[in-house]
Amino acid sequence: MNSIPFLRFPLIVIKEVLSTMTPFELIHLSMVSKRSQTIVKTFSKPKLRNKFNLEFRFVNNYELSVENERMKCEFIFTSSGYNEFSVIYTDRKRFDTIQKRTENKFDEFKKICIIVLDIFESNRKMLHYDINADTNENRVIIDMLKSKSFESCHIYDDKGNDHDLKYLLDNLEFSKKFAIFSIRRDYVPTDLPKNVRSLSLGNARFLKLEQLMRLECTRIWLGLTNLTNNDINVFLKSWMSSESNLNLEQLEIGLLSSTTDDILLNIPNEFRDETRLLPSGVDIKRNDGMTARIQFIGGHTMRMHVHSPVSTELS
């Protein structure tokens, strides 16, 4: 019996077959021809909207995955590994993985990336980027991703690559979570994304009091800092008078000094016991009635949990 080319079937049949295909199968079908890519995009894209997470990883390898609670499709391009294809089933999930060894990771990655973004454009995107892994490729990678908005971004930088970090921050958009993990960063060469919901900085020694007070995040985590106790005192007073950080819900900050007594100097406060929702600590109040529970952990960390008095009483 002669085979029949798939694209010659009636559209209703094609549409039904596409509805049964995994992301891995849809991506490979899209690679067959321009027409197949158009058909997959036309019939599958509406049904795939907001149902998957896209994760881009540029560390030692270049990796791209499409994932939801039932399946994960992963493409890995490596210059030192080996070619491999695997399908693994667990009780709850299917894992399709293809790894390709290549001397030109970026070109191979770009081919897949263009197709994946074409089909899954409306889905959530996450980025993990080691900015020192392939310094010669940073600009072309960022240019490829330039028009995309990422829900979360984790940047790893252990050498202080200022030029490429600035290019990344100036050209990519982030909506929810942004983190930089670095042990050698004394400053960030451009503005931090201040409108993300969550900001994490492993090394925040570069962060000035004025920068902290301009942030509009709901959650802030600062590891190492050069902020003095007086700086933190000014920050807390500014929050209490509703002059800054009105969106703040949680803050964790590394302290420069192990002595914390003067942080709450001239700030009205009251010690409160642990509740179902909050740990024990000192409460300070904002002029609109909101309250923040302050904790000092081990003499080197301050935590701040913002809450309403009503929620505390109900707990």
**199, pLDDT greater than 80:** yes
**304, pLDDT greater than 60:** yes
Sign of CA dihedral 239, 245, 251, 257: negative
> What whole-number distance in Å separates Cα of residue 289 and Cα of residue 308?
7
109: pLDDT confidence band, cut at 50, 70 and 90? Answer: very high
The answer to whether 38 and 47 are in contact (CB under 8 A) is: no
pTM: 0.84
CB atoms near residue 293 (< 10 Å): 21
Determine the residue type at 23. P
* C-alpha 142: how far from chain center: 16
pLDDT (average), residues 145-172: 88
In the chain, % of residues over pLDDT 70 = 94
Q: What is the pLDDT of residues 17-56, one digit of tens each?
A: 888 888 888 898 988 888 888 888 888 777 777 788 999 9
Q: What is the pLDDT of residue 86?
A: 92
- For the chain, the average pLDDT equals 89
Q: What is the pLDDT of residue 258?
A: 81
